[in-house]
Amino acid sequence: MHRHRHAKIVATIGPASSSPERLRQLFDAGADVFRLNFSHGTHDDHRAVHKAIRDLEAEVRRPICILQDLQGPKIRVGVIKDGKIEVAAGETVTFVLGKEEGGKAAIPLPHPEIFKAILPGASLLIDDGRVKLKVKELETDKIHAEVIVGGVISNRKGVNLPDTPLDLSPLTPKDRADLAFGLELGVDYVALSFVQKPGDLIEARGLIGDKAALLAKIEKPQALKQIEDIVRLSDAIMVARGDLGVEIPHEDVPGRQKELVRLCRMIGKPVIVATQMLDSMVNAPTPTRAEASDVATAIYDGADAVMLSAESASGAYPVEAVTMMSRIIERTETDGSYRSLIHALHPDLDTTVPHAVAASAAALAEAISARLIVVYTSSGTSAARLVRQRPGITVLGFTPNEQVARQMALLWGVSSLHSRVINTYEEMVEHTRQQAAAAEFAEPGDHVVVVAGIPFGQSGTTNNLRVVQI
């Protein structure tokens, strides 16, 4: 199945989309990656969805990527007397270390790591920033804070601390159990929440090994301070604008999004733009014009993928949301200004042979109006290097590694296929001619640019470029 676009769509699966029939509808509508959100659902629920996706993959004979999204630490207030309290600007309230029910004079905050790290002047945001407080005075087990923006604080509402790095692992006991389960199932990517520093990724990589690719969710301002190291240690990045937008000013989010997309493209790592992209389609069959513009902006910026959350997981119109997102991407990529905007950001050419060959392949394909670029890869890295250049030509990635084929489904512009092992140069040329035509990516007479590494099967050896005529 051919997509008439380069950017990919990530669809979150939930109650509205978990049946085999609905998964097929979402795939046909344009979903390339299915996200399993482990903040919700049981292991049995996720096992059933995973099996249904793999059954669908076998049916359509196209690799489908599965992304496991770990919940991460959740910082919340405890139980409030009578269920909620109302606080007004100018009031002083006290947070106490403990789990016992309390009120304004003793709001329970059962997180000792906060009391160890927070400083006077730091902000406390409750319920996605609806209530804002500033720390005035500290005691060993008490935080006295002034209410800056008043509102209601109710039981177990989330707490954000944009100014305070916490000595807290991004992997809770629940996450570790979920991760072990996901790796046993065979997920393709693992998304790590609450990333604050490069060491968080090193910790996760130690548990994951080479069983899945590691995706870092950028949702903490602390991560932005070491973002280049975080990107280099990750296999992919998600711009999690919802949580990030709580902890940094709303007006800063668009600029940060552009910076993150640019950095990922420079380094050659896929990047997903996520959260509230078509949010009104949770309850309506069409989006707002502003939402359509939001999706288009991410595409103009060069994002590898855009993501649907509640729209496809629990909304009333999951298939329509995927269809609409696909239409917006297609229309944006055919806009007259798209190619000039996408090429305005040109990655610096790395001096290594693999990067130079990949860049040359993209330039050559455009110069001769090739129908297709074929890349043979064992790890997917050659394909990632190639699409850094954002060629206006379909890229077909062949790999003998089934999981790599699935992981490449996230890469901008790449259609991936699981292939047999290629052992010789002549076999590669013949395989290209047969498979490109059989899969209807090229027709007799078309020119195809082929990128490979010789000797075959060794990661990081991209060193060969050839033009083949079908």
Q: Which domains does the chain have, with CATH numbers?
A: 8-72+170-334 (3.20.20.60), 81-160 (2.40.33.10), 353-469 (3.40.1380.20)
At 451 the three-state DSSP class reads strand
Q: Write the DSSP string, 80-124.
A: BGGGEEEE-TT-EEEEESS-S-B-TT-EE---HHHHHH--TT-EE
pTM score of the predicted model? 0.94
According to the model, what pLDDT value does residue 348 have? Answer: 67
Mean pLDDT of 38-57: 97
Confidence of residue 349 (pLDDT cuts 50, 70, 90): low
**Maximum CA extent, the chain:** 79
Residue 434, CA atoms < 13 Å, CB-side half-sphere: 9
pLDDT at 423: 83
* Residue 191: per-residue pLDDT: 98
Query: Which residues participate in catalysis according to the annotation?
Result: 35, 76, 217, 275
Q: Is the pLDDT of residue 2 over 90?
A: no
Predicted confidence at residue 100, as pLDDT, reads 86
pLDDT of 153 above 80: yes
Answer for the pair 241, 234: CB distance below 8 angstroms, yes or no. no
Residues 6+ apart with CB under 8 A from 145: 92, 93, 94, 95, 124, 133, 134, 135, 136
Are the CB atoms for 391 and 414 separated by under 8 Å?
A: no
- The whole-angstrom separation of Cα 163 and Cα 412 is 35
Tokens of residue 264, six digits? 């990922």
pLDDT of residue 454: 78
Helices (H), 306-372: 310-313, 318-333, 338-344, 353-367
Q: pLDDT band at residue 467, thresholds of 50, 70 and 90?
A: very high
Task: Kindly tell me if the per-residue pLDDT of 351 is higher than 80.
Answer: no
Region 148-160: mean pLDDT is 95
Residue among 80, 136, 88, 147 nearest 107 (CA): 80
Q: What percent of the chain has pLDDT over 90?
A: 83
- Measure the CA dihedral 132/136/139/142, to 10°: -20
Confidence (pLDDT) at 1: 58
* Contact assessment for residue 217 and residue 193, using Cβ atoms and an 8 Å cutoff: yes
Q: What's the whole-number mean pLDDT along residues 162-173? A: 94
- Average of per-residue pLDDT values in the chain: 94
Q: Model confidence over 60-86: pLDDT tens digits?
A: 999 999 999 999 999 999 999 889 999
410 contacts 57 by C-beta, under 8 angstroms? no
Digit-coded pLDDT (tens) for 256-297:
999 999 999 999 999 999 999 999 999 999 999 999 999 999
Please give the average per-residue pLDDT across 303-313, as a whole number.
98
**Confidence tier at 437 by pLDDT (50, 70, 90):** confident
Percent of the chain exceeding pLDDT 70 equals: 98
d(C-alpha 243, C-alpha 136), whole Å: 25
What is the average per-residue pLDDT within 458-464?
76
Average pLDDT over residues 333-358: 84
Give the lowest-confidence range in 92-96, 214-218, 323-327, 386-390. Answer: 386-390
CA within 13 Å, CB half, 244: 26
pLDDT at 350 > cutoff 70: no
Q: What is the C-alpha to C-alpha distance for residues 181 and 187, in angstroms, rounded to an integer?
A: 9
Q: Between 272 and 464, whose confidence is greater?
A: 272
Per the structure block, which two tokens stand in for 422? 């290629």
> Is 459 a residue whose pLDDT tops 80?
no
